[in-house]
Amino acid sequence: MQDRAKAAKSSNLISGATGDWEVVIGMEVHAQVNSRAKLFSGASTEFGGEPNSHVSLVDAAMPGMLPVINEECVAQAVRTGLGLKAKINLNSVFDRKNYFYPDLPQGYQISQYKQPIVGEGEVEIDVDGETVKVGIERLHLEQDAGKSLHDQHPDYTYVDLNRAGVALMEIVSKPDMRSARQAQAYVSKLRTILRYLGTCDGDMEKGNLRADINVSVRRPGEPFGTRCEIKNVNSIRFIGQAIEAEARRQIDILESGGQVVQETRLFDPGKGETRSMRTKEEAHDYRYFPDPDLLPLELTQEWVDALKADLPELPDEKKRRFMEQYGLSAYDAGVLVAERASADYFEKVAAGRDGKLAANWVINELFGRLNKEGLDIEQSPVSAVQLGSIIDLITSKTISGKIAKDVFDIVWTEGGDPTEIVEKRGLKQVTDVAAIEKAVDEVLAANPDKVQQVKAKPTMLGWFVGQVMKATGGKANPAAVNELLKQKLGI
Ligand code: ADP
Ligand code: MG
């Protein structure tokens, strides 16, 4: 056990010209809260509306407008905190984070600083058979900013405030990740948890889950090095590429005798490199202070407990249950629980059936085909009920596994009831011994030389089985074929 953990760890090291380096990663993930209205106004959060069509007077920062907290956004943050096994702070405070930007009409962002709504928690990830616990430092609520539109006109930049004031959860991890793969697994896992909870859609393409990645490097065993923060990386693939490029850049600097400058950088996916954006701003630059328009946020333990009682089964629990209840491997269970919809589909197929067989069909046939055709589980042309009856036909030995794949393909392309398809197309497995025996005799008679050889080399039996299966159009029961061949050949 000890040895394996060591081997897995050392494989995370990056070799430089002068020896090995370890990369240290901490993430700040911004997740858009699933809520119909914004954090402090009743304006819609709908994506893709006409510019400035979802803007209230509060979002536009008209003088004298007062923010009013949206209870649903608070509930979503608490649910998320509970899902991250984190401490919920019954007292938290909203602060103003002051900075100037054209898409921020207030001149400050309402955020939480010293007293966030959620404290320390934890996310478990599995990478290469190794389980790593990534600590959560905190989760706080804050407003999103608007968007500057640069491509509308050659001479002007426009501002769209639809996103201004939308609730975000900033989820800050501890610097507990040690490879690009771990960081990718962390964001995927976080996304899965949020989607299970229904607190964020996790749609990275639409920007409703974005990661700021803090990267530093050190010699194994040394204290942490100086970090750089790579802003707003919006795909799992780019997270991996950005970390690898940034670690390499820092190693090159250190190995040539230089020093890493703490700064904010951007990842350029086209060039595969990070570039400097600005020097790191410090908390005091923002002149944080408690927002005088908002009272401290006070929650009761009963309210938090009620939310807790309503939480769905989360991916880790579901995975453990799948392993126990259906006898699945950790890997298969992990694949099935990655999306709640996939897990639900699997459970419908597995109900009252052999769990492992159901998992094989869902993972290999169904997911394989969905991936190939770029479809989500919700768009699957084969329903859980249909796949369930295909499996029943295998279990009752009505069809062989091979024919079942053909039936799956027919259901996929044409739809229909698997039992009827098997019936109508004459796909039923032949278990009638007389019929199989006839096919066996014909194959033996047609291949006298091979019959001589198989006696000395029993591994050739497979070839005969194949021939008989072919002769019966794949419908003969393979076990019966095997048995008969052995009898007749005397092996
Ligand atoms: P700031 O307030 O300046 O953003 P924080 O202490 O909140 O700094 O940390 C921000 C993020 O940086 C956290 O996710 C943390 O885990 C990560 N981090 C801190 N130190 C390091 C380091 N040396 N290397 C990599 N990541 C780090
Ligand atoms: Mg920060």
Cα 28 to ligand 2 centroid, rounded to whole Å: 7
358 pLDDT above the threshold of 80: yes
- The CATH number corresponding to 433-489 among 3.30.1330.20, 2.60.40.420, 1.10.10.410, 1.10.1270.20 equals 1.10.10.410
Tokens of 335: 């694949």
Where b means 16+ CB within 10 Å and e means fewer, 359-368 reads: bbbbbebbbe
Distance in angstroms (rounded) separating the CA atoms of residues 403 and 398:
10
Q: What is the pLDDT confidence band of residue 483, given thresholds at 50, 70 and 90? A: confident
Tokens of 114: 């010293």
Closest by Cα among 119, 153, 159 to 139: 119
Closest by Cα among 317, 322, 345, 344 to 333: 322
Ligand 1 test: best mutation among 22, 140, 172, 187, most atoms within 8 Å of CB?
Answer: 172
**Ligand 1 pocket member 463 (CB < 6 A):** no
**Ligand 1 pocket member 24 (CB < 6 A):** yes
Tens digits of per-residue pLDDT, 183-209? 999 999 999 999 999 999 999 988 899
- Beta strand 209-218 with 91-92 is unpaired
113 pLDDT above the threshold of 90: yes
**Ligand 1 pocket member 83 (CB < 6 A):** no
Q: What percent of the chain has pLDDT over 70?
A: 98
Q: What is the pLDDT confidence band of residue 9, given thresholds at 50, 70 and 90? A: low
| Residues forming CATH 1.10.10.410 domain(s) in the chain | 433-489
Radius of gyration in angstroms for the set of CA atoms belonging to the chain, rounded to a whole number: 30
Q: What is the pLDDT confidence band of residue 6, given thresholds at 50, 70 and 90? A: very low
**Ligand 1 pocket member 228 (CB < 6 A):** no
Q: Which residue has the tokens 């050889």?
A: 453
**Ligand 1 pocket member 173 (CB < 6 A):** yes
Atom of ligand 1 nearest to the CA of 175: 16
Closest by Cα among 118, 124, 120 to 186: 124
Tens digits of per-residue pLDDT, 74-103? 999 999 999 999 999 999 999 999 999 999
Q: Which residue has the tokens 């066996």?
A: 440
Tens digits of per-residue pLDDT, 32-56? 999 999 999 999 999 888 999 999 9
